Structure 1
Amino acid sequence: MAAASPSTSDAAERLARLVQRLRRLVRGELILAGGHARLQPQDETDVATALELARELAVPVRFGGVTGGLPAVLAGHVDSSRGSLPGLRIDASSHLTRAARFDGTRGMIEVQPGVRLADLNRLLQPHGWWLPIETHPESGATLGGLVGLDAAAAAPAWGTLADRLLGIDAILDDGTRQLFGPFGERSSVSLNSGRAGQLVSSLFGIAAGVQADMARHWPPGQRVPDGYLLDAFHPRPQRPYTPDGSVNLAHLLAGSAGTLAWSARLHLRLLRRPAVSRWALFLQPSAAAALTHAPAVLALQPSAALLLDAADLRRLAGSHHPDDQALCRLAGIGPGMSGRPDGTQQGEAG
């Protein structure tokens, strides 16, 4: 049996000290398995305490459930190499699952990060609202994890989860709390700690340094994808994150994979659920022929427009998503099917 490396043994010792202290200070469950610790916090205070102590003892922290999570974080920095070192995982999905302050008139709600997307949409369905984020129906994805990834909506026209964020009550890596929300002269949001001010100022400096490159090298009608949403400081007129193009600091946390702060409460702007959802399927003999019809289709302003070939449809045939199944039925793609002749098909898809 190989001996543990000095770095691994040192990390294990720090984790043991962290667990020993947390057992006396938190109400949530602490589970030890495979050289790692998992905290199922009972409340936000448990998380603030864990983050503060983990930072003090230099223990990597991950966020998410037992089957997956966001990258390891150490003192506010992400380090993928730390994923194998003994660390602490904070799993909000067991207890931090409350939804509150639902405004059925304006379509707004406040949720804790452990709320599952499927549960939220079931709650909202009778009221005619939903959060149209694309996940597998059986994935059990939580809102906290989806915000950390800035998950995409079910249709490109609906954007990503950043477009649904009104604000985030967050806990920083030193345990301090900060509301990330509308920012500027017309906003009442202020940075109430030196740590929060340092974080936002640093991100603003980085964004200013790359703003010219983003404008020069990235198409103006698209956002800069993946990772930190640095263009949130300078929203593009063609694709703003807010209806009025203003700056909202919550968008800095979307896509940051938990490396900047832990999202304690999410304030979301919902979308009206369509009364009827239908696909119109246009079958063309070639990709070139399909592209010639694209301008006329886009002029109708559909929620989504997809260009698929037969191989794409065959792959979708194995999907359990109801929209994928409906699309394949319309195309005549499935076990024992080879597809319908060229033409237009229309039918309900959700």
Structure 2
Amino acid sequence: MKSLGIMRIGFRLLVNDKAKFSALLVGIVFAVFLMTQMTAMFAGILNRAYSTVTNVGADMWVIDPAVNTPTISFPLPSFLLDAVLSMDGVKYAAPLYIGGAQVRLANGKYQSVSVVGLDDVSLFGRPHMEEGNLLDIYADNAFLVIDDPEIAKLGNPKIGTTFEINDLRGVVVGLAKVSANGLNGVPTLYTLYSRAVAYIPGTRFSTSYILVEPKTPAAVASIKQQVAKLGYLALTKAEFNQRIANFYTYQTGIGTNILLMTIISFLVGASISGQTFYAFVLENLDNFGALKAIGAKGSELVKMILFMAAFTALTGYGIGVGLVTVVISLIQSVLPNYAAITTSWNLAFSFAMVLLIAGVSSYIGVRRVLKIEPFDIFRG
């Protein structure tokens, strides 16, 4: 029998039994939905965790070896900036301040904020302005407010709105946008490095990070070695992001919990699909035996089983991914700070798991079908 013909017969057998076909789809859709949703949430969390690195955009970061996430920094000594500026291969270096503070709003309420202090000279890492003039940041008490979903916690301030930080006056001189929202759920203010240090009390060292621009890509390795001799780390943007990802994956409960949920989703989908597919094969043993009796080879029946399992798995994968996309879009329309994104790697992961489910289901079905002898069917 021709392969196309045997697959057409398999397709008819599959879709004509609507109850079993629907049960197979439900199991796969459920597994795909949960696996993709879990990994999308993790990807969203990592994207938010990378936000500082993404928004600042520096090619290299000099950090304390104890730093795992940019929101929790260990201040660097003052001499380190001068040392980095004098290193071979460094085109430019600038300090960056990141800290937390309590803001007293005009209505008397307090709100936690994240404060980013930019280098007074270069404003290296500045956000994209929406309203106002960037140069107004040099005015007295000036702050930029990031216009993201958290801005409502500040009462949706406008240019000219005033507030207090540590009994010091602050004035909103502009609204700005950044590429990625933060993970901690607090509004973000940008100001000058010198003002951030003056407004927010801290330790004797105040530099959170040193942002470095190498002269050439070839200079990166040399800069790393020179910084390492001083007891600190120089990381590229990709390396810093990987360090953050490793921290959230292996040193917090987030990665473990999501991994367990993903494994459970796979096992549930595989068990439902495998059992249902096996029941489908048992109910159609007469048909498979008849096909063998009229000349269908074992290899052709194997192709039929593989086709049926693959067709069901891919259909379920498409429906499951579509449901995830719709659910994420709906939730984000209501909750803009919902951290979940679909990426190529989590779609590829779900696809690989679906193929594995299809392989398990096929194996169960193939073993049973290959044992069929035509005379057993017609003898009954």
TM-score greater than 0.5 by the shorter chain = no
Higher helix share: 2
Compare relative contact order (CA 8 Å, sep 6+) and give the higher one, 1 or 2: 2
Quick check: which has more Rg, 1 or 2? Answer: 2
TM-score (norm 1): 0.25
TM-score (norm 2): 0.24
